[in-house]
Amino acid sequence: MEQRALFIRSSIGTYSEDWFDVGFHQNTTLEIEIILEGRGLFEWPERKVFVETGHVVIIPPGIPHRFAAVTKVRFGVIHLQGMPASLREVADKLAHDYAQPRMYALSRIDRDRFEKLFREWLRVLASPLKEPQRTHAVWAELLLLYLHEHSQTDLQAMTITKAADFLRENLRQNVQVADLAELTGLTVAGFRRTFEKIYRLSPKQYQQQCRMQEAKWLLSATDKDLNEIAEQVGFHRLHSFSQWFKAVEGTSPSLWRKSQKAMHGIDIPTQAN
């Protein structure tokens, strides 16, 4: 069977609170809706659900559906058809059996990062390209992979992702679990249990993971000195930062940085740690 050419339509739309679809409609494409701002109502014949900022709706071809705004709402939309194998593989993970719509949730940080990618994607779509089909397929795969990697299937996780965002934005602080539980309106035991179910890490382990990710990014992508990096990820003493880094990575932060720079042919002075 001849492979159908890749078809993509994508946009960002803003609608007032009195906007709604007149009746159900269905597409021949796989439709992906990302709520970038506001709140709305999504409906298909079996169910109605409220969607809000950070929610992602995957709508398989042939499913009757409609949207209505509850507040002023802003959507990012992707329509895909005729996908090459690598793109279809990621789409299948998001759509599962294509029998009904699937719902996901992005945290605020991940949603903001996705929107930046999405806006660059729209710029790519509007640009003259040497290899448009290949470029569009790679970008679409990147966007879908981002959603697959960073979204949660449990919409109740939105309250927990607020706490996770707080941990990611406050790496310099040793945040107390009791404060995070209060932030989400859960008991300490309920918060800890739900957090570990979603992230498969305790809140402390999650923050340590975020610290390591940030430390590696700062070491490989900036020329900040080790003292500044240590303080930025929550260590008041360089020695403590170096011990922690070496215990996790098996090498000191200065040697790790040197190895990363060497991969790209960049020579940097050795710094004591």
Q: Looking at residue 240, which CATH number applies to its domain?
A: 1.10.10.60
165: left (phi over 0), alpha (psi -120 to 50) or beta: alpha
57 lies in the same domain as 133: yes
User: DSSP character for 152?
Assistant: B
pLDDT tens per residue across span 136-153: 999 999 999 999 999 877
134 lies in the same domain as 165: no
Structure tokens at 35: 């709520």
Q: Pick the closest to residue 181 from 196, 171, 169 (CA basis).
A: 196
Instruction: Indicate the number of domains in the chain.
Output: 2
The pLDDT of residue 62 is: 96
Determine the Cα–Cα distance for residues 88 and 107; give it in Å rounded to an integer. 25
CA dihedral 79, 104, 167, 73 (to 10 degrees): 60
Report the 10 Å Cβ neighbour count for 230: 24
Determine the Cα–Cα distance for residues 54 and 34; give it in Å rounded to an integer. 7
132 lies in the same domain as 173: no
Answer for the pair 37, 53: CB distance below 8 angstroms, yes or no.
yes
Residue 126 is which amino acid?
A
Residue 237 falls inside a structural domain: yes
The pLDDT of residue 165 is: 86
Structure tokens at 236: 């008041």
pLDDT tens per residue across span 157-196: 667 888 888 898 889 888 889 888 887 778 899 889 989 9
Of the three residues 128, 150, 172, the one that is the final residue of a domain is 150
pLDDT tens per residue across span 58-69: 999 999 999 999
Full-model pTM: 0.72
Higher pLDDT, 108 or 64: 64
What is the chain's mean pLDDT, rounded? 90
CA distances from 9 to 33, 79, 99, 135, 136 (A): 12, 5, 22, 14, 11
At residue 262, does pLDDT exceed 80? no
Residue 273 falls inside a structural domain: no
The pLDDT of residue 11 is: 96
The pLDDT of residue 273 is: 47
Rg (CA), the chain: 22
Structure tokens at 178: 């009791």
The pLDDT of residue 158 is: 63
| pLDDT class of 269 with cuts at 50, 70, 90 | very low
Which domain does 197 fall in, by range? Answer: 157-263
CATH number of the domain encompassing residue 20: 2.60.120.280
The pLDDT of residue 2 is: 44
Residue 271 falls inside a structural domain: no
In Å, how far from its chain's centre is CA 92?
Answer: 18
CA distances from 63 to 7, 49, 156 (A): 19, 15, 24
118 lies in the same domain as 78: yes
